[in-house]
Each structure stands twice: as C-alpha cells, then as structure tokens.
Amino acid sequence: MSSGQLLVLGASILWMLLCMRFWYAIDREHTWQRRFIAIAAGIGGGLIYLIGTMMLEMLKENPPQPPSGEEVRVISRPSVPEKK
C-alpha cells in the first residue's frame, strides 16, 4: 500500500472512531439517535474512502504524450537588448 492509500484508509477509520465515540456517549434510551450515528459512521467512512481513492487516481494520471512519429520543436525567442 502506498502512503496515499494509507492516509485515505486512516481518515476513514478516524471518522468511524469519532462517530463511535459519540455513539457511546448517547444514552441507550435514545435508540434512534444511536442508529443515526451508526449509519453516519458507515456512510461517511465509505464516502471518505471512495472519494479519497478517486482523488489518488486522478493525481496519478500521466500527462498526454504526443503521438509517435511527430516531432515537437521549441523555438527560442530572440533576445531584446535592454534600454537604459
């Protein structure tokens, strides 16, 4: 695993651990709040992982190469004398 993938996985796990901390803090009588936090932990962690891996793939893309057989020439600009 590359360091980028580890960072994305770590961010996803950190989000789920943060949600679990709130899940434990909510009283057992408030079952709907606890369920909502658990659902948010799963969906949020999954979205962080999905978007993070998509961004890593976009950053890995190589710039387009010119088709083979064509020459690319760079022409330098003529130097202009400075005015004093």
In the block, tokens 């690319």 appear at: 72
Q: Is the pLDDT confidence value at 40 over 80?
A: yes
pLDDT of residue 66: 63
Domain residue limits, the chain: 3-60
How confident is the prediction for the chain on average, in pLDDT? 87
Sign of the CA dihedral running 32, 38, 40, 46? negative
CB neighbour burial string for 25-54, b if at least 16 within 10 angstroms, e if fewer: eeeeeeeeebeebeeebeeebeebbeebee
Task: Choose the weakest-confidence range: 19-28, 37-46, 55-64, 68-77.
Answer: 68-77
